[in-house]
Amino acid sequence: MTQAPATSRAARRHHDREIVSLAVPAFGALVAEPLFVLADSAIVGHLGTAQLAGLGIASALLTTAVSIFVFLAYATTAAVARRVGAGDLPAAIRQGMDGIWLALLLGAGVIAVVLPTAPFLVELFGASDTATPYAITYLRISSLGIPAMLVVLAATGVLRGLQDTKTPLYVAVGGFVANGVLNVLLVYGAGFGIAGSAWGTVIAQCAMAAVYLVVVVRGARRHDASLRPDAAGIRASAQAGAPLLVRTLSLRAILMIATAVAARLGDADIAAHQIILSLWSLLAFALDAIAIAGQAIIGRYLGADDPKGARDVCRRMVQWGIAVGLVLGLLVIASRPAFLPLFTGDSAVKDAAFPALLVVALSQPICGVVFVLDGVLMGAGDGPYLAWAMLVTLAVFTPVALLVPTVGGGLTALWVAMTLMMTVRMLTLWLRTRSGRWLVTGATR
């Protein structure tokens, strides 16, 4: 009678050790992108409200341009982890190299689209006349770093699948420090203004990509994996990521709609929205660290034909997600008075942001469950369901968000709509994980 509880406690401790060993270093890598945006927001925010509003619009567009290809990381993590569980390291790394070549091709295509269409894209967001030139400048310069950012995504996916989240941590810390130093030097030291912030970020991103390439290429040579591009492998990587692309496009559409609505509320609201969205992204990536651990662990369990282990670790990660969400929410509430002055001295911006931050804080436990379950299903390679679930969420969120300027409530009402969006996501993901249909074992799904 006492053996089962003891065994259960031992299993929980084992899962906790696995989750922590991967999630803690993964956190540092995951927060690199929002920390870049936070650093840029803090530096540019003191140039003026128009500059910060321009940065908010440009960064939303850039994040969308990069994040729609996040499957380069997530699909690669799941596929590599499955092959690790099945004991086929050379095949895992070969697939990762195909993902890196695909990243370079996609990056070149995005630059070709963004450079000539930057004014049109900014205009779509309804930016004010004062914010528009700053948004165009930042968008055009920063787009040059997109290939490097996509290479970072693909290479990070390879390392995560190999159960290595420490190397991405080291690269992320180095990139964040370099970005901050370069931004200060170029924005204030050289007097380049918002253009200096964009160039600093591009240089830091290219340096990060170079380090990742060195690490992955060394691993490929060690396991005798080909470095040459393979058309069939690249096509396979693209096809495997297609459902996640639909899922991510739906999510990015939600965030773009939110930014567009905030832009129409006025410069103070879009500036406040940029600050809150930067914080929300940081909190989301912190929660996603648990999900990244789940992708690697669950992919490995399923590759090793152990569905019970995958289900058990899923349950434990949900508990972690709720607990971490509660802690993050309390931290946001406690830090609100000190947080906002770091980004702006404009009282109108602070007044708009203060109550919306409370909504963000209260929603964090919901976010914890969402990000964990999202990662679990990605680790299982359950992309088609994730695509369907996000389309449903987009359909619910869009009319609610578009009513905000008419109904009233300002930025706070917009973030209530964002919380509704996360609640819908939580319900769709919970239904899937409860069904058990994601538990498909084997080296490939």
pLDDT (tens digit per residue) in 80-139: 888 888 888 887 888 788 888 999 999 999 899 888 988 888 888 776 778 888 888 888
pLDDT of 271 above 50: yes
Contact 243, 384 (CB under 8 A): yes
C-alpha atoms less than 13 angstroms from C-alpha of 347 in its C-beta half-sphere: 0
- Identify the band that residue 203 occupies on the pLDDT scale cut at 50, 70 and 90: very high
pLDDT of 10 above 90: no
pLDDT of 23 above 90: no
pLDDT of 366 above 90: yes
State the amino acid at position 280 in one-letter form.
W
| DSSP character at residue 342 | G
Residues 6+ apart with CB under 8 A from 228: none
Mean of the pLDDT values across residues 387-391?
A: 94
Res 4: pLDDT: 47
Q: Which has more confidence, 427 or 248?
A: 427
Query: What separation, in Å, do the N-terminal and C-terminal C-alpha atoms of the chain show?
Result: 38
pLDDT of 9 above 80: no
Mean of the pLDDT values across residues 301-325?
A: 89
DSSP 287-337: HHHHHHHHHHHHHHHHHTT-HHHHHHHHHHHHHHHHHHHHHHHHHHHHHHH
> Within the chain, what is the greatest distance between any pair of CA atoms?
73
User: Would you say the C-alpha torsion 157, 159, 161, 164 has a positive or negative sign?
Assistant: negative
Contact 99, 154 (CB under 8 A): yes
In 3D space, the residue among 435, 424, 415, 418 whose CA is nearest the CA of residue 393 turns out to be 424
Cα–Cα distance for residue pair 283/285, rounded to 1 Å: 5
Percent of the chain with pLDDT over 90: 23
Res 2: pLDDT: 42
H or E element, residue 379? helix 364-379
The dihedral over CA atoms of 386, 383, 28, 90, expressed in degrees to the nearest 10, equals 170
Res 33: pLDDT: 64
Residues 6+ apart with CB under 8 A from 420: 396, 397, 400
- Within 10 A of 404 (CB to CB), how many other CB atoms are there? 22
Res 209: pLDDT: 92
Q: Looking at 29-33, 187-191, 285-289, 426-430, which range is the least confident one?
A: 29-33
189-191-195 Cα angle (round to 5): 115
pLDDT (tens digit per residue) in 137-172: 888 898 898 999 899 988 988 898 888 888 888 888
pLDDT of 249 above 80: yes
Cα–Cα distance for residue pair 58/278, rounded to 1 Å: 13
In 3D space, the residue among 61, 80, 43 whose CA is nearest the CA of residue 195 turns out to be 43
Mean of the pLDDT values across residues 365-386?
A: 92
Q: Which two tokens stand for residue 24?
A: 């803690």
pTM of the model: 0.79
Cα–Cα distance for residue pair 144/205, rounded to 1 Å: 10
Q: Which two tokens stand for residue 161?
A: 């699948």
Res 1: pLDDT: 40
Map residue 219 onto helix, strand or coil. helix
Res 34: pLDDT: 62
Res 31: pLDDT: 66
Cα–Cα distance for residue pair 50/327, rounded to 1 Å: 34
Percent of the chain with pLDDT over 70: 96
- Identify the band that residue 431 occupies on the pLDDT scale cut at 50, 70 and 90: very high
Res 372: pLDDT: 92
- Give, in order, the Cα–Cα distances in Å from 267 to each of 52, 55, 259, 332, 337: 9, 12, 12, 24, 21
pLDDT of 3 above 50: no
pLDDT of 286 above 60: yes
**How high is the mean pLDDT of the chain?**
85
State the amino acid at position 398 in one-letter form.
T
pLDDT of 417 above 90: yes
Percent composition of the chain: helix, strand, coil (DSSP 3-state, to 5): 85, 0, 15
Contact 285, 100 (CB under 8 A): no
- Identify the band that residue 5 occupies on the pLDDT scale cut at 50, 70 and 90: low
